[in-house]
Amino acid sequence: MSIPDKISLQVPTQPNYWDCGIYLLHLTKVFMNNPEHHFHIITTAKGTIPAADRNTQWQDHDVPLFRGYLASRITQLAEAWRAEKAAKDGEGKKRKNEEMEPEVISSEGEVDIVDVSGEPKVKPQRQRAPARLRG
């Protein structure tokens, strides 16, 4: 048997225009769980497979569960990332505060001269509306 240049797959049709990524990932996962079985179906199918059969073969009913799993996993990874970032930011602030402790240059007179290293804090400026609107 020779390998064809192109194979038209008969898979479930997504019911909307925004689930294409979820469907692609789901169909890939289903295929990779049993590649020999699905390869056999793909290469030996004659004619059009009814939609109900395609939905069963490709486990279309699991797409909403997969979407929920991915949303949950993304949320879990985002929370872990935020915690890690907060820990790193905390270490950075602690290190920066230690570096910014004032150093006394002279204490002989009545006034102590203190050198504070670091960049001055700049307040963000408020955006003003343009004086003249184009129209």
Q: Give Dmax (Cα) for the chain.
A: 99
Backbone angles phi, psi at 121, to 5 degrees: -75, 135
pTM to 2 decimal places: 0.57
Task: Tell me how far CA of residue 118 lies from CA of 7, 80, 88, 97, in angstroms.
Answer: 64, 31, 20, 10
Distance (Å, whole) CA 80 – CA 12 = 35
Q: Report long-range pairs for 36-43 (Cβ below 8 Å, ≥24 apart).
A: 42/7, 42/9, 42/10, 43/1, 43/7
20-33 vs 63-99: helix crossing angle, rounded to 10 = 110
3-state secondary structure of 23: helix
DSSP state of 118: S
What are the DSSP E strand ranges found in the chain?
103-106, 113-115
Question: What pLDDT does residue 90 have?
Answer: 82
Residue 53's CB is within 10 A of a number of other CB atoms, namely: 14
* DSSP three-state, residue 57: helix
Q: Which parts of the chain have pLDDT scores under 50?
A: none
